[in-house]
A and B are shown apart, each in its own frame.
Chain A
Amino acid sequence: MGKYAIRRTLLFIPTLLVASILVFTLFWIVPGDPALTILGGGEGDSGAVSLEQLQQLRQALGLDRPIYVQYASWLGNVLRGDLGTSLWYKTPVWSQLKDRFLVTMELAVMAILLAVCSAVPLGVTSAVKQDTGLDYLSRIFSSIGIALPTFWLGILIVYALAYFFEWLPPLGYATLWDDPLLNLQQLILPALTLAFNDLAFTARVTRSSMLEVMREDYLRTARAKGLVELAVIGRHALKNALLPVMTVSGYQFARLLGGVIIVESIFVVPGMGTLLIESIIHRDFIVLQAIVLLIAAVVLILNLLIDLSYGVLDPRVRYQ
């Protein structure tokens, strides 16, 4: 297992490299560059920039160098631990990123916890009481969770709050250690919005996994032995059923980071999602590359941990 872990960790490097090259190339192809966004006008204000001025700024920013030179220079800096300076804000990337990263992680973790804590009981109940009214209700509920686009749910929540309760979470972000109450107030709604979607998936997986496990022979043995149903479920079935749930939650986390982007902009959470959108709009590819690296690293580490723990917890599984 140790060898497996080391081998997987070593595979990080080519994966991260591929990811960074992918993003770099993509943004090379996409029309527009940072010089255009800096000089070219914002909303309702079409700029009057001339080609000479654009060229001048491009040279100053180093954008007229060939792409492989720019990539190599960026890579060189990263290997020395320097994530670079934002082309838009002109401040070091790391200083912005570390604060935002914590915010997004806090939001994602909250969402996953909320989802799992409500999805597992829902899924288990649904499986145990299969094809009864309770099962149908919970399946409809989880189907709703999948069918409702996250951004629509978020907009509806903001609208409902403002119109029916005349209350909105306060503007201006506070970190968890500065002001926990304020922080929770600001994050609970986006976390719930994200959790709703995740809950649906997790409940569904729990249910199907539970159903499968419940059919297993060893449970029949346990029942035949005279064990009460609750004990059957609690002692034997649940443990095994939860393994796939854990795995799925890990993959869900990566997907959650996608939903975080939308939810952050609707609920005004200053996390990595809004930074990502900003850097795409501003074509600030230095910040973009840093974000991609960070997210990729997190996702890869998470996947590795899950795969390793799965191997530990389920002795039947063999590794490739």
Chain B
Amino acid sequence: MTGGVVEGPVPATRIESPTRGLTWTVVGGFARRKPLGAIGGLIVLALVATALLAPLISPYDPRQIIREANNRVPVYVAPGSAYLMGTDHVGRDIVSRVIHGARISLYVGLGAVLIGVTGWFLVGLASAYAGRLVDLVVQRIVDAMMAVPGLIIVLAIMAVLGSSLNNVIIAIVIGMLAPVVRTVRSQVLSVKETEYVVAARAIGARSARIILRHIMPNCLAIYLILATYYLGFAIILEASLSFLGVGVPPDVPSWGGMLTAAAQGHITKAPWAGIFPGLAIFIVVLGFNLLGDALRDVLEPRLRGARRGLMR
């Protein structure tokens, strides 16, 4: 982490220790002070691990219809010894689909955040720092996009581009434009007006130096917090898109798609088909939110002069 930001959990006497020890102590200190955040972190780690190891740990191919010995296809079989989470409406193993779903969720979440949060972050930054005209135009676009129900925009995009994973990411990224730009812009503006920056300008510091010394570190904190939240948000948005019928193809094992397929039939006949992917979404998003919460608790006091709080 850049100097000047992290002061909290690390006591002053430890500054001379080697870097690795420093990192672990930071992590350990963080875990001790913010146990909820630590749980969140563990969940995220579990997600990443599952996603990376998916082909190794999943018992079946997630798109494969299981055909048992006597040509029987296990449709809607309850969870048991043969299939830990049961099977779905066409006889595919749910455990395998949930595991591979972790890949998809991570892919969608990371994609949306890396492109969306980064991209719109820069736009918000530019809008706050560039001239009046740029700001005005950007604000009008943001206003218009916030005024139009995001649903329409997203549905239209999916209808035009077609249902695929990458198009879902594009749709989510566009849906994120307004809130991210608006939040970043307001944060940067308030930082811009704080005493430090005013003072710095008063003593003649150049804009670039102001940005680097004062604004960027705060922005990093904002970015991290936004990133963790929007990772969860992207996963839920993907589920909602599937519910509205414009998500990824149905045989692709996305959690949202699985949830939708379960909700479209009569949900009592095989509750496990919806419960497990629903639980997966829930735990993962919870994890990201807890982590984001804890990060903000640790980092927010550093956000000097952010009067309005991190509004989302």
Identify the A interface with B (CB < 8 A): 11, 14-16, 18-19, 22-23, 26-27, 29-32, 136, 139-140, 143-144, 146-152, 155, 159, 163, 201, 204-205, 208-209, 212, 215, 243-244, 247-248, 251, 254, 257-258, 261-262, 276-277, 280, 288, 292, 295-297, 299-300, 303, 316-318, 320
List 12 A-B pairs, Cβ < 8 Å: A22-B145, A147-B281, A147-B285, A151-B263, A152-B278, A159-B268, A201-B312, A212-B300, A247-B311, A262-B240, A292-B148, A320-B189
Query: Complex Cα distance A151/B309, Å?
Result: 29
Q: Which single residue of chain B is at the shortest CB-CB distance from A162?
A: B268
Q: B189, B244, B312: which contacts A248 (Cβ < 8 A)? A: B312
- Is B61 in contact with chain A by the CB < 8 A criterion? no
Q: Is the CB of B232 within 8 A of A276?
A: no
Q: Is the CB of B36 within 8 A of A139?
A: yes
Q: Is the CB of B312 within 8 A of A300?
A: no
Q: Is the CB of A261 within 8 A of B140?
A: no
Q: Is the CB of A209 within 8 A of B309?
A: yes
Instruction: Beyond the given A208-B309, A296-B144, please list 19 additional residue pairs across the A-B interface where CB-CB is below 8 A.
Output: A16-B147, A19-B144, A19-B147, A29-B160, A144-B282, A144-B286, A149-B281, A152-B259, A152-B263, A244-B309, A244-B311, A248-B312, A254-B146, A261-B151, A262-B244, A280-B155, A295-B149, A296-B147, A303-B143
Instruction: State the main secondary structure of chain B at its contact with A.
Output: helix
Q: Is the CB of A258 within 8 A of B300?
A: no
Q: A16, A151, A159: which contacts B240 (Cβ < 8 A)? A: A151
**Chain B positions 133 through 176: 1 when the CB is less than 8 Å from some CB of chain A, otherwise 0:** 00100001101111111111101110110000000000000000
Q: Which single residue of chain B is at the shortest CB-CB distance from A130?
A: B297
With both chains docked as a complex, state the minimum distance between the C-beta of A207 and any C-beta of chain B, in angstroms: 9
Q: Is the CB of A22 within 8 A of B143?
A: no
Q: Is the CB of B156 within 8 A of A29?
A: yes
Query: Complex Cα distance A273/B293, Å?
Result: 32
Q: Is the CB of A143 within 8 A of B153?
A: no
Q: A139-B36, A151-B243, A212-B300 are in contact. Are A261 and B309 (CB under 8 A)?
A: no
Query: Complex Cα distance A147/B150, Å?
Result: 19
Q: Which 10 A-B pairs have the closest CB atoms?
A: A296-B147, A147-B285, A26-B156, A18-B144, A147-B286, A30-B159, A209-B309, A19-B144, A299-B147, A143-B289
Query: Complex Cα distance A124/B268, Å?
Result: 40
**Chain B positions 268 through 312: 1 when the CB is less than 8 Å from some CB of chain A, otherwise 0:** 100000100010011101100110010010001100001111111
Query: Complex Cα distance A139/B35, Å?
Result: 12
Q: Is the CB of A146 within 8 A of B289?
A: yes
Complex interface: chain B residues within 8 A of A317 (CB): 307
B residues 233-248 near A (Cβ < 8 Å) are 236, 239-240, 243-244
- Is B267 in contact with chain A by the CB < 8 A criterion? yes
Query: Complex Cα distance A39/B239, Å?
Result: 32
Complex interface: chain B residues within 8 A of A288 (CB): 152
Q: Is the CB of B152 within 8 A of A26?
A: yes
Q: Is the CB of B140 within 8 A of A247?
A: no
Query: Complex Cα distance A303/B182, Å?
Result: 12
What's the interface size class on B, roughly?
Answer: 35 or more
Complex interface: chain B residues within 8 A of A209 (CB): 309
- Is B7 in contact with chain A by the CB < 8 A criterion? no
With both chains docked as a complex, state the minimum distance between the C-beta of A57 and any C-beta of chain B, in angstroms: 21
Q: Is the CB of A247 within 8 A of B147?
A: no
Q: Is the CB of B152 within 8 A of A292?
A: yes
Q: Which of A19, A29, A140, A247 has the most CB of B within 10 A?
A: A19
Q: Is the CB of B160 within 8 A of A31?
A: yes
Q: Which single residue of chain A is at the shortest CB-CB distance from B156?
A: A26
- Is B193 in contact with chain A by the CB < 8 A criterion? yes
Q: Which of A27, A149, A257, A318 has the most CB of B within 10 A?
A: A149
Query: Complex Cα distance A277/B152, Å?
Result: 9
Q: Is the CB of B152 within 8 A of A212?
A: no
With both chains docked as a complex, state the minimum distance between the C-beta of B3 and any C-beta of chain A, in angstroms: 24
Query: Complex Cα distance A137/B308, Å?
Result: 25
Complex interface: chain B residues within 8 A of A201 (CB): 312
Query: Complex Cα distance A150/B282, Å?
Result: 11
Q: A139, A151, A215, A280: which contacts B152 (Cβ < 8 A)? A: A280
Complex interface: chain A residues within 8 A of B301 (CB): 215
With both chains docked as a complex, state the minimum distance between the C-beta of A13 and any C-beta of chain B, in angstroms: 11
Complex interface: chain A residues within 8 A of B290 (CB): 139, 143
Complex interface: chain A residues within 8 A of B189 (CB): 320
Q: Is the CB of A18 within 8 A of B243?
A: no
Q: Which single residue of chain B is at the shortest CB-CB distance from A291?
A: B149
Complex interface: chain B residues within 8 A of A212 (CB): 300, 306, 309
Complex interface: chain A residues within 8 A of B143 (CB): 11, 15, 300, 303
Q: Is the CB of A139 within 8 A of B293?
A: yes
Q: Is the CB of A205 within 8 A of B309?
A: yes
Query: Complex Cα distance A317/B306, Å?
Result: 12
Q: Which single residue of chain B is at the shortest CB-CB distance from A143?
A: B289
Q: Which of B143, B156, B256, B263 has the most CB of A within 10 A?
A: B143
Complex interface: chain B residues within 8 A of A280 (CB): 152, 155
Q: Is the CB of B140 within 8 A of A148?
A: no
Q: Is the CB of A247 within 8 A of B308?
A: yes
Q: Is the CB of B160 within 8 A of A30?
A: yes
Q: Is the CB of B282 within 8 A of A147?
A: yes
Q: Which single residue of chain A is at the shortest CB-CB distance from B142?
A: A15
Complex interface: chain A residues within 8 A of B244 (CB): 262, 277
Complex interface: chain A residues within 8 A of B268 (CB): 159, 163
**Chain B positions 37 through 62: 1 when the CB is less than 8 Å from some CB of chain A, otherwise 0:** 00000000000000000000000000
With both chains docked as a complex, state the minimum distance between the C-beta of A149 and any C-beta of chain B, in angstroms: 5
Q: Which single residue of chain B is at the shortest CB-CB distance from A163?
A: B268
Complex interface: chain A residues within 8 A of B243 (CB): 149, 151, 262
Q: Which single residue of chain A is at the shortest CB-CB distance from B303?
A: A212
